[in-house]
Amino acid sequence: MSAKIRLYVEHPLGQGQSVHLTREQAHYLFGVMRLAVGAHVALFNGQDGEWLAEVVQAGKRGGELSCTEQSKPLQLPPDLWLLFAPIKKARTDFIVEKSVEMGAARIVPVQTEFTNSERVRQDRLQAHAVEAAEQCGGTFVPEVTELQRLDRMLDDWPQDRQLMFCDEAEVGSALRLAENKTGQPWAILIGPEGGFSEKERKRLAALPFAHVVSLGPRILRADTAAVAALTMWQQAFGDWS
Amino acid sequence: MSAKIRLYVEHPLGQGQSVHLTREQAHYLFGVMRLAVGAHVALFNGQDGEWLAEVVQAGKRGGELSCTEQSKPLQLPPDLWLLFAPIKKARTDFIVEKSVEMGAARIVPVQTEFTNSERVRQDRLQAHAVEAAEQCGGTFVPEVTELQRLDRMLDDWPQDRQLMFCDEAEVGSALRLAENKTGQPWAILIGPEGGFSEKERKRLAALPFAHVVSLGPRILRADTAAVAALTMWQQAFGDWS
């Protein structure tokens, strides 16, 4: 028994558990996807793994599912944060989507000196993260935080968390991640498209927990850089090996 | 002297060389970007590196630039092809853009058994490749070919070209690229979002020049997979190290 439709729900999941649908979910399952009573859906809530559930009641404004069996255990991503400076709307959405697919545990939009965006729509980005998790078969949805100021985050940085910092001015510097730091919490910082300021660059380079890496000789857009950096990290320290 | 605007031209470049602009280029430089006589632009043609050029004549329908000095030597990417099964328009555009940024030498849309697209707009994709090269600071524009049938490409495959083949069914298989094959021509094949057919999978796995790699435990969209695979390859064999 497999189900093609995956749905994130904010509801406990378990053997025989009933799940009541919101109006929006009912519209999606019964209005858009045309499911009927007896159909199967895969549910996950970020905590209980993935469960197959059968439609037991289908209405225009709501409905009920009943969990039949666990189809996947909970798989938490590594303890990795992805920090990025928000850019144009579509590309910001892409960074969130790609961070979920690539297995970041937390997504943090940061304001740098050269970031144009004064605010982000956290709720919209969080909804994107949910959709990406539904799509990529994950059982976990990373939290997308509100916009943080990079300088303040660095003031309060947890000292055991390593920081991989991708600087396009660092063309040619080798990746020096092999040294160590497996099993520790990490963060990846993707700079704004205008680059870091001289002050930020100096501060970052001097931090004892920061590791500068190069992403090759061409200039990457921020969304490309995010995927490339996540690939490097997952191969070296994460759940890809 | 540096120039912010980078323009790809189909014209020889060299010391003192005059470059006549097309109507479209003149519109962009003088209409959109508001450059005037005396302004500087960076030009590249995929063969002669990057040249700074000064505007010597600016009109609505044309104009003339004069090359003053070479600002970058020609940097060819490694001999790497990126093969991908076309998907929805926006994501196909992204795959082309990202392949250019990441340093593929040739971009080949392929038709697999589960590819929906019967044709691609090669001219539009090639224009995207030009734009991406202008943006990423490259001096080379990869050729985007017409849509090829995967089975026919494999029939005529050049035997010295290694093929990295990313199969989402291969969850858990380790990257076994370290073994060798540096300095050889390569290709990366990104499967369609519906996956390869059983027949294609068997054929690919049996090819002596094919290397299956895993892109982690989550399902990646094709554009994410392209960047991740290019990152792996560039780190192992390309110009990132």
Q: Decide if pLDDT at A126 tops 60.
A: yes
pLDDT of residue B240: 84
Q: Do the Cβ atoms of A214 and B240 come within 8 Å?
A: yes
Tokens of B85: 């099964």
Q: Do the Cβ atoms of B75 and A217 come within 8 Å?
A: yes
Residue B70, exposed/middle/buried by CB under 10 A (0-12, 13-18, 19+)?
Answer: middle
pLDDT of residue A43: 97
Size of interface A-B (CB pairs under 8 A): 94
Identify the structural domains of chain A with CATH numbers, from first to last: 6-72 (2.40.240.20), 80-236 (3.40.1280.10)
pLDDT of residue B182: 67
Q: Do the Cβ atoms of A101 and B215 come within 8 Å?
A: no
- The pLDDT tens digits for A3-50 are 689 999 999 999 999 999 999 999 999 999 999 999 999 999 999 999
Closest-CA residue of chain B to A174: B241
Residues of chain B with pLDDT under 50: 1, 171-174
pLDDT of residue B134: 94
pTM for the whole structure: 0.91
pLDDT of residue A182: 66
C-alpha distances (whole Å) from A157 to each of A112, A154, A186 are 16, 5, 11
Distance of CA A110 to the CA centre of its chain: 15
Q: Do the Cβ atoms of A228 and B174 come within 8 Å?
A: no
pLDDT of residue A95: 95
- The pLDDT tens digits for A58-85 are 998 999 999 999 999 999 999 999 999 9
Residues of A whose CB is below 8 A from B214: 240
Tokens of A185: 């919490």
| Residue recorded with tokens 């450059």 | B35
Phi and psi at residue A169, in whole multiples of 5°?
Answer: -75, -15
Q: Which residues pair with B51 in a beta bridge?
A: B43, B70
- Alpha carbon of B220: minimum distance to chain A alpha carbons (Å): 6
CA quadruple A196, A197, A202, A203: dihedral, nearest 10 = -80
Of A75, A102, A175, nearest to B224 by CB-CB distance is: A102
Q: Which residues of A75-94 are buried (b: 16+ CB within 10 A; e: fewer)?
A: bebbebbbbbbbbeeebbbb
pLDDT of residue B173: 47
Phi and psi at residue A200, in whole multiples of 5°?
Answer: -60, -45
pLDDT of residue B172: 42
Q: pLDDT band for position A180 (50/70/90)?
A: low
Of B97, B138, B220, nearest to A101 by CB-CB distance is: B220
pLDDT of residue B168: 64
Give the 3-state DSSP-derived string for chain A, with helices as H, strands as E and coil as C. Answer: CCCCCEEECCCCCCCCCEEECCHHHHHHHHHHCCCCCCCEEEEECCCCCEEEEEEEEECCCCEEEEEEEEEECCCCCCCEEEEECCCCHHHHHHHHHHHHHHCCCEEEEEECCCCCCCCCCHHHHHHHHHHHHHHHCCCCCCEECCCEEHHHHHHCCCCCCEEEEECHHHCCCCCCCCCCCCCCCEEEEECCCCCCCHHHHHHHHHCCCEEEECCCCCCCCHHHHHHHHHHHHHHHCCCCC
Q: How many CA atoms lie within 13 A of B173 on its CB side?
A: 13
Around Cβ A59, how many Cβ atoms within 10 Å? 11
Q: Decide if pLDDT at A173 tops 60.
A: no
- Alpha carbon of A77: minimum distance to chain B alpha carbons (Å): 10
Closest-CA residue of chain A to B231: A228
- Stretch A85-102: mean pLDDT, rounded? 91
Tokens of B186: 């390569």
DSSP conformation letters of chain B: ---S-EEE-SS---TT-EEEPPHHHHIIIIIIS---TT-EEEEE-SSS-EEEEEEEEE-SS-EEEEEEEEEE---PPPSEEEEE---SHHHHHHHHHHHHHHT-SEEEEEE-TT---S---HHHHHHHHHHHHHHHT-S--PEEPPPEEHHHHHHT--TT-EEEEE-GGGTTPPP--TTS-TTS-EEEEEPPTT---HHHHHHHHH-TTEEEE---SSPPPHHHHHHHHHHHHHHHHSTT-
- Alpha carbon of B207: minimum distance to chain A alpha carbons (Å): 24
Q: Which residues does B54 contact at the CB level (< 8 Å), separation at least 6? A: B38, B39, B40, B65, B66, B68
Tokens of A232: 């490097």
Residues of A whose CB is below 8 A from B219: 101, 135-137
Q: pLDDT band for position A239 (50/70/90)?
A: confident
- The pLDDT tens digits for A181-234 are 667 899 999 988 778 999 999 999 899 898 888 888 888 999 999 999 999 999
Pairing label, strands B63-72, B50-58: antiparallel
Of A136, A175, A239, nearest to B220 by CB-CB distance is: A136
Residues of B whose CB is below 8 A from A135: 219, 221
Q: Do the Cβ atoms of B102 and A218 come within 8 Å?
A: yes
For residue A152, give the amino acid letter. Answer: R
- Alpha carbon of B170: minimum distance to chain A alpha carbons (Å): 12
